[in-house]
Amino acid sequence: MSRLILVRHGVTAWNQAGRYQGHTDVPLGEDGRIQALRVAARLADEQIDLCLTSDLSRARDTAAAITAGRGLSPHETPALRELAFGRWEGIPTTDIAVQYPDDWRAWISDPVTARPPEGETLQELLDRCVAALEAVIELPSRRNEPHDWFSYAAARGQSSGDAGRSVLLVSHGGPIRVLLAHLLGVPPRAYWQFAIRPASVSVLDLYPEGAIAEVIGETTHLRDPAPTVVASEMAPDPAAPAR
């Protein structure tokens, strides 16, 4: 068994304004930086052997907060970036249907094969995210042939033996949703049914026969009192005034 911890980056100004971000490198807002520290506190007792992160700063800085003091250096990769929304990036979601009505209808109807103008499809997003994950951790078989132990004991939360490596993946809403769909056997087009809010935590145990979700989209840690910010725990905010 291996453990996969999926964390969405903290909130940004574009999140709060309802704008598609995609590959645009929008930094964490002040709220997002506090959220990243709360995620770090939530995962303080979790074993983390390897950290993968999107190379966009909102994910990268969230990963840095979580791994601070662990002796881990997050591995950055563009393969874990958000879906490329092309010309929709920076536009409020309420305006896209007005400005791009045909493209919007096509994408809403079938995001797996349709794409935003100059963007990518959900299938392309899924393919690159799965490839990045398969390079570092063994994923469950897709044969859907459960063994007796897995069917009855694992589903009740019993351990099959020594745990394998624990991988932290810090990314964006789209990548986490499609990975959850893939690992839990849900059709990719149903990715939107997972509520993956900024700074949420999802934890899955990966067995050869399948994945078991411990939590999906947990945000209870965001209600904790604001953590004390230690300067070394976070990268400097590029939007902050010089002091």
Is 9 marked active-site?
A: yes
Distance of CA 90 to the CA centre of its chain: 20
| Residue that the structure tokens 């990975």 belong to | 179
DSSP 120: -
Token couple for 159: 């351990």
Are the beta carbons of 33 and 223 closer than 8 angstroms? Answer: no
Torsion of CA 221, 224, 226, 231, to 10 degrees: -40
Per-residue buried b or exposed e for 119-139, using 16+ beta carbons within 10 Å of the residue's own CB: bbbbeebbebbbebbeeebeb
The one catalytic residue in 82, 89, 120, 233 is: 82
The one catalytic residue in 9, 172, 182, 221 is 9
To the query of whether residue 82 is one of the catalytic residues in this protein, the response is yes
Q: Which of 85, 90, 207 is nearest to 154 (CA)?
A: 207
Burial class (CB in 10 A: 0-12, 13-18, 19+), 111: buried
Q: Is the dihedral of CA 190, 177, 200, 24 positive or negative?
A: negative
Give the three-state DSSP class for 208: coil
List, by residue number, the catalytic residues.
Answer: 9, 82
